[in-house]
Every structure is written in C-alpha cells, then in structure tokens.
Amino acid sequence: NDILEGQNKDDILNGDDGDDRLHGWSGNDILNGGNGDDYLSGDDGFDILNGGAGNDYLDGGMNEKDRYLFQRGHGQDIIDDRGNDISSEYNDIVFEGTNLTNAVFSRSGNDLIVRAYGTDDSVTLSKYFDSSARAHSFNFIFDDKTISYQDIIKGNYLSAQTGKSGYGITPKSLLNRDLLTRNSTPVANESPAVASQAQQLASAMSGFTARQDSSLSGMPDQIQQFVQQNNFAAYWGN
C-alpha cells in the first residue's frame, strides 16, 4: 500500500498492487492506481487518472480539464470532480474497448451511474445532477461516439435504475419498443403492479425534455419483474 506525492511539476505516479494513495498536486500529472482500491487526486493541472482494477476514488481537481480512463474489469469506481462550465474544458471520461450502445446510464439520487461493459463494472459520478453546471461538465467518450450532459438530459440514454434482476427500461428502448435491457437474471412472471409502474414511466418519458430532468426524481426506482410487451403496445396505440 503506497502513498505517493508529486511535486509542482508534471509527475507520473504508479501505485501498482495494493490500496494506494496518489496525489499529483500542481502540474499535468499521470496517475495510475494499478490493482487495489486506490485514492487518486490530481489537484491543479490537466491530469490523467487511471484507477486500474479495484474500486477506486478519483478526483482530478476542480475547475480544470482532466481525463479519466477505464477498461473492462476496472471495478466500481467513483469520480468526484467539479470541472469547468466552458464546454472546451469539460472533463473526459474514456471507456476504452466498448461502444455507446453497450452502455447503460442510470440515476441514483443525485449521482449518475455508467455501466459500459455489460458487467459489474461501474463508474459513479458523485452529485452529477446538482444544479451547478460544473457538476456535470463531462464528455463520455466511447470507441464509436462521444456524448455530453446535454445528450443525457434529452432522455435518449438515461434509464430507470435497475434492480437486482438486472433489467432496466430506457427511453431509447421505449421508442424502439424494445422493452428490456438484459444483464443476467432470468425473467420473472409479470406483475400487474410492475406493469402499472412501467406505464407511468413510459408516460413520464414521453414528455421528457432537457428542461424537465428534475422530473426523474418521481420515477420508479426499480422495475424488477418482466413486463409484457402488450402493456406498452397498448400505451403506444398498437
């Protein structure tokens, strides 16, 4: 378990194995946590943070552009960063080796959770939905496409938070009438109460706009059971 401190220069800090603490201080630093549950802090400058395997806490530093790197097997990481509200200075979150179509975006309280690899790997952006523009100053970069906060709040990507069953219903899938985003668990029997919740979610999402992202707080937190496609077909008029 290492504690590594940079200087007021451009540093490269490598934690390797163990639960490490890396602090870059000033300068444009590169921080690699390696294996283990690491704490990485870039502080001032344009920093590149890669937590590696393990559940890491990543803070590139306030008000300046930073870059976060993720690959399959990175674990369940947390980003706590307030960037710059100038779009050219947004932080970059890079998901290497996967496409946007593989990613699921969900909201938990004021946090945004991104699962990009179809596994238990996740990135939680702490307080992403706070009112401050700096809280959501991130670009999400995939192999095939880059999106930003403006894309997410339009309702094209944000899903209802999934429960233990691993199923979520996204606005995108509703419009395509492709109901379920499957992770692992077999489908359970339909529940009328869940079907009703899904109807309410569909209704809310049909009127969702960039100015209505606060309405997400009223949506069902979990949809854990199977919902027959006929329920939504009736809603959409088919």
What is the tens place of the pLDDT at every residue in 100-139? 999 999 999 999 999 999 999 999 999 999 988 889 899 9
CATH, range 3-153:
2.150.10.10
Q: Say what the pLDDT of residue 62 is.
A: 77
Amino acid sitting at position 152: I
Ranges of CATH 2.150.10.10 domains, the chain? 3-153
SS3 8: coil
Q: What is the average pLDDT score of the chain? A: 75
Q: CA-based Rg of the chain, rounded to a whole angstrom?
A: 19
Rounded distance, CA 162 to CA 21, Å? 32
Rounded distance, CA 231 to CA 56, Å? 41
| Segments of the chain with pLDDT less than 70 | 63, 155-156, 159-238
Structure tokens at 113: 């959770």
Over residues 133-161, the pLDDT tens digits come to 889 899 999 999 999 988 887 766 776 54
- Whether the pTM exceeds 0.85: the reply is no
Dihedral angle, C-alpha 153, 100, 105, 188, nearest 10 °: 130
SS3 122: strand
